[in-house]
Structure 1
Amino acid sequence: MVNAITPFQLQNTQNTQNVTNQLNQSQKTDSSNQTSFSELLKNSIDSLNESQVQSDHITNDLAAGKDVNLDEVMITAQKANISLTAATEFRNKAVEAYQEIMRMQM
């Protein structure tokens, strides 16, 4: 007795093949677009530094009496503060993870 293939089963098979092909293509492009952890860390620190410098610059402009919107100064300062806080928390978690790894017995 021959089992018939329903259109639904055929469609599922084709969808599975399409998804598999898409995953293979995305894995190929992901491997070429990957950046190293050190590059990612350096870019993050550069971004943090840029936000701090921008905040300092706009705050100095306000203190010098230049025509600067106070709302913009406060928003920029708050963004820089949040970025610094997040970076500090990231560092703390990385140090904790390193210390935990060093405590492990082999």
Structure 2
Amino acid sequence: MINGISPFQVQSAQAGTNVTSQIHNKPTGSENQVSFSNVLKDSINALNQSQNESDKLTNALALGQDVNLDEVMIASQKASVTLTAATEFRNKAVEAYQEIMRMQM
């Protein structure tokens, strides 16, 4: 079973969306239902955005542009943590799938 928070909640919270509330809130008649594929797609986009931001700041620093070193390091660490969490989330999902496939019918 997958435990803990989603690895993408940090990035989606920064992007202004709350994945947890999207999953747990039950839509009423006029609201659109959020599918798992949409949540996954948004999470991957947030991961990609953090990686791109880190790359942009790192390249700006390497080119000698006026960039705060603290911002570069923070963006780099956020991207690293998010990627590590996404990898762990993927590993847990694969493990869960493999466990389901081993079940007796």
TM-score (norm 1): 0.71
User: Once superposed, what is the RMSD of the aligned Cα atoms?
Assistant: 1.9
What's 2:50 paired with? 51
CA distance in 2, matches of 1:96, 1:31: 37
CA distance in 1, matches of 2:60, 2:41: 28
Q: How many residue pairs are counted as aligned between the two chains?
A: 81
TM-score (norm 2): 0.71
What's 1:61 paired with? 60
Identity of aligned residues (%): 70
> Moved runs in structure 1, 4+ residues, more than 3 A?
26-31
CA distance in 2, matches of 1:64, 1:80: 20
SS of the residue aligned with 2:85? helix
What's 1:85 paired with? 84
CA distance in 2, matches of 1:39, 1:67: 37
CA distance in 1, matches of 2:30, 2:87: 30
Q: Which has the higher contact order (CA 8 A, sep 6+)?
A: 2
Structure 1 residue runs without a partner (length 5+)? 1-25
SS of the residue aligned with 1:97? helix
Structure 2 residue runs without a partner (length 5+)? 1-24
Contact persistence 2:27–2:33 (CA under 8 A): no
Paired residues for 1:1-106 under 5 Å: 27=26, 29=28, 32-106=31-105
Q: Normalized per residue, which structure has more helix? A: 1
What is the one-letter code of the residue matched to 1:35? V
